[in-house]
Amino acid sequence: MSVKFRDLRVLDSGSEFAADLCIVGSGPAGLSIAKEFVGTGVKVLIVESGTKAEDLETQSLYQIENVGVPRELNHSANRYRIFGGTSHLWTGRCAPFDEVDFQARSWVPYSGWSITRRSLDPYLERAGENLGIGPHCYDERLWEQFKVAPPAESLNKAVVKPVFWQFSKHHNNQYEPARFGQGFMPENAPNIDVLMNANVTHLNTNAEGTKLESIEVTSLNGKQATIRAKAIVLCCGGIENARLLLASNRIVPQGVGNQNDVVGRFLMDHPGCVLGSFDPAAAKQVRDRFGHYWLDNSKGRHVYLHGMALSPELQQKEQLLNCAAYLETIAAEGDPWDAVKSLKEALKSGKITPEAYQGAMAVLTQPHTIGYGLYRRYIKRRPTITKADRVDLYCHVEQRPNPDSRLTLSGQRDRLGMPLSRIDWKISEQERQSVRRLAHLICEEFDRLNLPKPMLSEWLNQKEGWEPNFVDRAHPIGTTRMSDDPKQGVVDSNSQVHGVEGLFIAGSSVFPTAGHANPTLMIVAMSLRLADWLKFNYLPTERVVKLKQQVA
């Protein structure tokens, strides 16, 4: 039997559901947890706000009120209420957090995780399988696996270390990242149910707020239902997880799990910025070295991107935040390789459009570029270098944890009567200092390596008015952070909300610090870790019980 889908809109209002495990949200976190319980005796109910298709009315529930640093990215466009969640939108970039990200650092207030980076290695391996990525390796050991010679001269790793990202790959389409709503869940999953068009509007606890008893869900057409489960996991993202806790204030006035006023605080992201730009006509050498690489193995082709990051030693010595830079290329019109793609599509469809004709002319008039691209593909085993209009040196920086950078509830409400999230995102001077230092170190290293240097952005030296040059990357982090101390965090090391039995949280909202890496790989790894804890400690299956008895 396959996963069973139900639609709250067509059910009787006042319906009640019971499950062993209720997962709120069907993105990478929620479905990664659910998949771990397929074929067990655990009855799982997944609650999803959307359906299998995009719905603009449902998307409108993501509206926010922003009162802090401008959030440039449209929150209704970069978060997705649909089965599979925001994996429908992401570009697939993956990397784990660094060892330094987990350490308590004197120069980074509120830093330090209650778990170690090394303890996550097995989960990162498993997360890679869910995301369709290659080996769990992100350093210079990759040169051998790329089957290319490493650069003759290395970066000075004492100040700038080489880093790599790899890109997720859908199980049946190598040109798309993993879309969790498309073929991720096994067809044979009789113990998994999905309730769609169901928006959680309240978390109901006992009178003391120490145990979660049920959750209330509502559809946009007014149908309501109640769900009871032994364990409920919120997997709604870095903003919605905190919003739900705060808005569930009918029984506990300050909000569920907010007895220490920590819920919604420590809102972080990955502030992104352009450190500088290269002359596209002179950037071939740097694009060759710090570009894309291919790794071919039994699971197909995996794509990697090479970049640079501040070394942990220099971060400690100069009290800087973790940050990394990579090349971001803006394609130019008339690129022959884009033209090749257009021609292929035209030939498949049998329609020679004006665009296809122009593409053919671009190919015929640039034989040297086509020849060099073929050489790179089949001799050097590297992707082509496309024609560029701009080549920027782009940076992601870790954000300094700040309890005043936070999410609270707005006086405005959505269609369901839920208060909007009021976002007061703050960026510190430490972020600017860190990216400025990285930019100058890269220039020094490129000068030493005889590589073309970027023209650095003028705002890096500004003491005031520099904040608009940072753009959020739609990676909300930290609003229900993990800590062994309930006064410093919302969840414990097992992702259970402090003082609230039966309530767990998964996703980037539990990260105490942000690192520089895109969060999805870490989100899936941490979700698998929570799934294991639930299986072995909270919802033991018959198989686990037998295994424990054998060990005893």
Instruction: Please indicate whether residue 500 or residue 358 has the higher confidence score (pLDDT).
Output: 500
For residue 362, pLDDT beyond 80: no
Residue with the larger pLDDT of the pair 199 and 544? 199
pLDDT band at 335 (very low <50, low <70, confident <90, very high): low
Confidence of residue 175 (pLDDT cuts 50, 70, 90): confident
pLDDT at position 282 over 70? yes
User: Is 339's pLDDT higher than 70?
Assistant: no
Q: What are the tens digits of pLDDT across the range 10-52?
A: 999 999 999 999 999 999 999 999 999 999 989 999 999 999 9
Rounded Cα distance between 412 and 407, Å, is: 14
Distance CA 200, CA 203 (A): 8
Average pLDDT across the chain, whole number: 91
Q: Is 209 helix (H, G, I), strand (E, B) or coil?
A: coil
142/175: higher pLDDT: 142
Most confident of 76-80, 312-316, 386-390: 312-316
Which residue do the tokens 């954000």 mark? 399
pLDDT of residue 220: 97
pLDDT at 548 over 70: no
CATH number of the structural domain 1-132+177-269+400-425+476-552? 3.50.50.60
Instruction: Note the pLDDT of residue 397.
Output: 98
Of the pLDDT bands very low, low, confident and very high (cuts 50, 70, 90), residue 353 is low
Cβ of 13: how many Cβ atoms within 10 Å?
12
pLDDT of residue 174: 86
Under a CB-based contact definition with an 8 Å cutoff, are residues 212 and 24 in contact?
Answer: no
- The pLDDT, as a whole number, for residue 1 is 60
Evaluate if residue 346 carries a pLDDT over 70: no
**CA-based nearest residue to 501, from 238, 229, 236, 243:** 229
Helix locations, 304-398, DSSP H: 312-318, 336-349, 354-364, 367-378
The confidence band for 358, taking pLDDT boundaries of 50, 70 and 90, is low
pLDDT in tens, 122-152: 999 999 999 999 999 999 999 999 999 999 9
CB atoms under 10 Å from CB of 518, counted, come to 20
Of 180, 223, 183, 185, which Cα lies nearest the Cα of 201? Answer: 223
Calculate mean pLDDT across residues 316-340.
85
* pLDDT of res. 128: 97
So what's the pLDDT on residue 123?
98
Secondary structure of 139-190 as H, E, C letters: CCCHHHHHCCCCCCCCCCCCCEEEEEEEECCECCECCCCCCCCCCCCCCCCC
Q: Check residue 240 and report its DSSP letter.
A: H
Closest CA to 500 of 233, 247, 249, 211: 211
pLDDT band at 359; cut points 50, 70, 90: low
What SS3 class is residue 47?
strand
Residues 401-421 have pLDDT tens digits of: 999 999 999 999 999 999 999
In the chain, % of residues over pLDDT 90: 81
Residue 101 pLDDT exceeds 60: yes
Q: Which pLDDT does position 530 carry in this prediction? A: 98
Residue-level pLDDT at 72: 58
Two structure tokens written together for 519: 């969060």
Q: What would you measure as the largest C-alpha separation in the chain, in angstroms?
A: 76
Note whether 522 and 511 are within 8 A (CB): yes
Contact 4, 43 (CB under 8 A): no
The answer to whether residues 397 and 271 touch, using CB atoms and an 8 Å cutoff, is yes
Query: Under DSSP, is residue 107 helix (H, G, I), strand (E, B) or coil?
Result: coil
pLDDT per position as a tens digit, 296-325: 999 999 999 999 999 999 999 999 999 999
**Mean pLDDT, range 168-185, rounded to an integer:** 92
Q: What is the pLDDT of residue 388?
A: 87
